[in-house]
Amino acid sequence: MRRALPAALAALIAATMLAPAGAQAAGLHEVAGVDTDDMLKMRAGPGTGYRILLGLPNGTELRLHDCQQTGGTRWCLVSLRESRAVKGYVSAGYLRRK
């Protein structure tokens, strides 16, 4: 039993360290850190080359579904908390877990 605990702990630490760099906890997040005179752009795809669907001010509540690294930016697929049908991609740097 004493040998099993360190082995299990080592496996847990290794699994945590091997998590994808783009991993972010799914669930409820809010827009944060956007300049007061600007909005976070929700886009049709993961990158600035995709069309803008919506502008989201600070405090907008979003459901996070998935994140992926594209170039130097981590993009997350999100939907509006109040309307799950409205989905798009935003930069993860402007999301804060609620």
95 neighbors 30 (Cβ within 8 angstroms): yes
Beta bridge partners of 63: 28, 79
Q: Residues 42-48: what's their mean pLDDT? A: 98
Classify residue 39 as exposed, middle or buried by CB count within 10 Å of its CB (0-12, 13-18, 19+).
middle
pTM, rounded to two decimals: 0.74
Region of 47 please: left (phi>0), alpha (psi -120 to 50) or beta.
Answer: left
> What percent of the chain is helix, strand and coil (3-state, nearest 5)?
15, 45, 40
Q: What is the pLDDT of residue 21?
A: 40
What is the b/e burial string over 74-84, where b = at least 16 CB atoms within 10 angstroms of the residue's CB?
Answer: bbbbbbbeeee
CB atoms near residue 51 (< 10 Å): 9
> What structural domains does the chain harbor?
21-97 (2.30.30.40)
Range of lowest pLDDT (9-13, 16-20, 47-51, 53-57):
16-20
Banded pLDDT at 20 (limits 50, 70, 90): very low
Quickly state the pLDDT bin for 22 (edges 50, 70, 90): very low
